[in-house]
Amino acid sequence: MKQLSRGTMYGLLFLIVLTFLVHALATIPFIHELRLSPMVLGVVVGMILANTLRPRLPESWNGGLKIASKQLLRAGIVLYGFRLTYDTILQIGGGAILIDVIIVVGTLLIGNYLGRALGLDKDERLLIASGSAICGAAAVLATEPVVGAKPHKTAVAVATVVLFGTLSMFGYPLLYRAGLLDALSPHAVGIYTGSTVHEVAHVVGAGAAMDPEIAGIATMTKMLRVLLLAPVLMGLGYLMRRGRGGSATTSKVQIPWFAFYFLIAIAINTLLFRASDDTEWIEGYHQLTHFIETIDGFMLAMAMTAIGLDATFAKFKQSGAKAFLLALGLYVWLVGGGYLLTLLLA
């Protein structure tokens, strides 16, 4: 194993301290009520520092920032699998599964073609589309190493999905209370929420603001969308290699092995949950997975903070309003198209 330089170690230490600060900010009541996770706050804090303090940081620290935004990111996505089980699929019904698949595939296709029409490059449109299609910031982070996108593009994509996910978290309960979702049963409202809202935290927040039954169905539906992350990453990896087939750069396009490890983590979690009916075993395993989730959340927050630290306003200007127009178009599809799909198939 290659020994890390002193500057790289200082860069990692700086990020660790900064991530602890981000977690502390997430406990502030106002921020907590908005369901803004440390991952999201990490990129916000990183972006603020990128345009203020970052030019004064030693260049030798860049190695630590790069490790956080690459290796720690992939490890965090793999550990994310311990939040999920394959039993989720069996609990929500065939209609919800079909809706989730259509939403994910449709969002990716619409995002690609609409993004191309707006003049966005492939990296930007795939990042925004994957975040809108699957699980918000986590999906953007997972897609970034597959498409080889630059950090500032990742930050733009995260900003868009967080914006519209937050709108949904407040908007869906308003629609529900106003009676505009009365054509759907509570079960169907849960499916609609879980299949169309961006972030897991936003789904939980929106569901809890409506009804406990809706919250449960919405969360399970959302977890199924998260399960689709691995096949989407594998498909994107294949398409990226095929698009460059026969060129000298083919060998540089890496297979997203972390997507396979992500599926393995889900399988292990599923098997261990089923392994015993003993109460002590189950409680002990829950404690273990809670610890893994805590470590995983910290790693992903570190990665997001590192990505935010590379997002200067000058780089944002390269995308301009086009990225937000793409995210808006996908949001209209999710809200309107998702409602019609739920009405027909749930």
DSSP labels, 1-56: -PPPPHHHHHHHHHHHHHHHHHHHHHTSHHHHHTT--HHHHHHHHHHHHHTTTGGG
What CA–CA distances, in Å, run from 172 to 102, 306, 344? 20, 32, 19
Q: Which residue has the tokens 């369901």?
A: 35
pLDDT of residue 31: 81
- Mean pLDDT score, 111-127: 92
Question: In angstroms, what is the C-alpha Rg of the chain?
Answer: 20
At residue 262, does pLDDT exceed 90?
no
At residue 249, does pLDDT exceed 70?
no
Q: Which residue has the tokens 């790693």?
A: 299
At residue 115, does pLDDT exceed 90?
yes
Higher pLDDT, 256 or 179: 179
pTM assigned to the model: 0.72
CA dist 189 and 172 (Å) reads 9
Q: pLDDT per residue over 40-75, tens digit each?
A: 788 788 888 988 988 888 888 988 888 887 788 788
Please provide the average confidence, as pLDDT, over all residues in the chain: 84
Do 96 and 346 contact (CB within 8 A), yes or no? yes
What's the half-sphere exposure (Cβ side, CA atoms, 13 Å) at 137?
32
Give the dihedral sign, CA 31/164/174/201: negative
Q: Which residue has the tokens 């170690």?
A: 9
- Among 155-164, 199-208, 212-221, 309-318, the range scoring the smallest mean pLDDT is 309-318
One-letter amino acid identity for 247? S
One-letter amino acid identity for 102? I
At residue 193, does pLDDT exceed 60?
yes
> Per-residue confidence at 216, pLDDT binned at 50, 70, 90?
confident
pLDDT of residue 250: 40
Do 197 and 225 contact (CB within 8 A), yes or no? no
Q: pLDDT per residue over 274-309, tens digit each?
A: 776 677 777 888 889 899 989 988 998 898 788 788
